[in-house]
Structure 1
Amino acid sequence: MVAIFEIKKQAVRMTLMWKWLYPYTKFESVYQICGKLFLLFAVLALLFLSIGTIWGLMYAPPDYQQGDGFRIIYIHVPSAILSMSIYMSMALAAFVGLVWQVQLSNMAVVAMAPIGAVFTFLALFTGSIWGKTMWGTWWVWDARLTAELVLLLLYLGVISLHHAFNDQEVAVKISSVLAVVGVVNLPVIHFSVEWWNTLHQGATITKFEKPSISNDMLWPLLFNIFGFAFFHATIIMVRMRNEIIRKERNRLWVIELARKNVRDS
């Protein structure tokens, strides 16, 4: 009897949770939410990036070894962190889309993949510039650099597969499978400096007890990391709205929205 009561209790909880989540699975509701969050994330991105960039480039002290050349860290590190976190978010969305057939999750994969690819390219590009200063060469087949390059190829693979098939359902499934499988590359990127003897420096800001960077350099870096994250969220909101409009373009609410925008303009 106790077991039956617990099962019923869990079923009630799941039902209540679904009722709470259900409005957020509607395309029109998500479109409106993205529109509201867009402005918030845009303001936060501008605020954090302005503070972090000005503080880091103009007021942070020069590094005792690299001088002012270290300041590329304020672009390179946030880009590298976002390249991995976006992929993890994309893979989770792909998993949800594959298992529960949630169309919004599939849209999120489509929306995130190009943004993640840009951040990964930016991380590789700025890393090459930093490598030229530190190692005297633009590129070495270092474990972390190579794994980051693989990450860029995974992003490009997801994007290419999504556009390689006329049948959108097949395209979404295949690209989502690649996104999920590619997650194995993320631990390689993160732990590569510990697993192998590499040229790339070890952890800096993730050593919370004693970061390998002074607070004068650390705080603007943290501001830029959050700024990049909010900037990414801003673009995601825009791309999600575009994907929803593309998917629902023949629906009555989209037609009425278009009419309203024409009247307002």
Structure 2
Amino acid sequence: MPGHDVAENGSPLPEPAVRVPTRVVAYREAEPRADSRALAVETPVNLVYGSVPYAVMMTTPSDLEDFAYGFSLTEGIIEAAEEIRGVTLESGAEGLRLLVDLAPGRLREHLARKRALSGRTGCGVCGIEDLASLPSADMREAPAIRVTVAAIERALSALSDAQVLNHETRAVHAAAWADLDGTLVAVREDVGRHNALDKLVGALMRSGRDPATGFAVITSRCSFEMVEKAARLGAAVIVAISAPTSLALARAREHDMTLCAIARSDTLTVFCGGERLVMSG
């Protein structure tokens, strides 16, 4: 099960999954049969900086400190993990609050910005005011890494077993980080695909892992926000189970990233950046 957080005020937190009674109806049987089903928990989480509420995101209540770090980076609120002095998790009747304590200079810069974001599940751009506000990661020099196709195959093969919450609920996305040999070193899950990636970004930031030491794998479609978040982390290679959008491909090219998608057990489609891939080894 994903990491379960504890509220600072001692209030109990929701579990990542709950089991509910159901009835299964077979079309050609007279009576339904009693059963039960695990459901992924979806709860509002308010991110607060310097006592000022910033965003409400619908998330799975696990690995929330990772989420605070990753969301803060991919939103452009911080540039490095050291700019967060601490994260406090509070639980209340209406949902959860993540109180993010920013370093003084970073807090002043943040308070000078504004953004209204009442989040839907995993939504990456809800609340922006105009097209010029679409997220765009800073241009950077992509790490000069090489990834073997065998390593990608190894990571994809291991990812299914690593999705603990999805095995129980069949309702959440995953984002994973693999070493260059394909070994999974971190996996995060959430009802929101953007949230899962933010949690992964936060976990990597907090552990101090160098983005040049591996690649990202996501189980969702690859929209432009997913590419932007990976670019903010500094990832050079992103592998998606589903297909990319046209804007995702354009952004991946702009950031000199390698984008592989429609990743299956036997095939992989390379959309850009194929020079980083090694066909054997």
Q: Could you state the TM-score of these two structures normalised by the residue count of structure 2? A: 0.23
The answer to which structure has the higher helix fraction is: 1
Larger Rg: 1
Q: Could you state the TM-score of these two structures normalised by the residue count of structure 1? A: 0.24
Which one scores higher on RCO, CA 8 angstroms, separation ≥ 6? 1
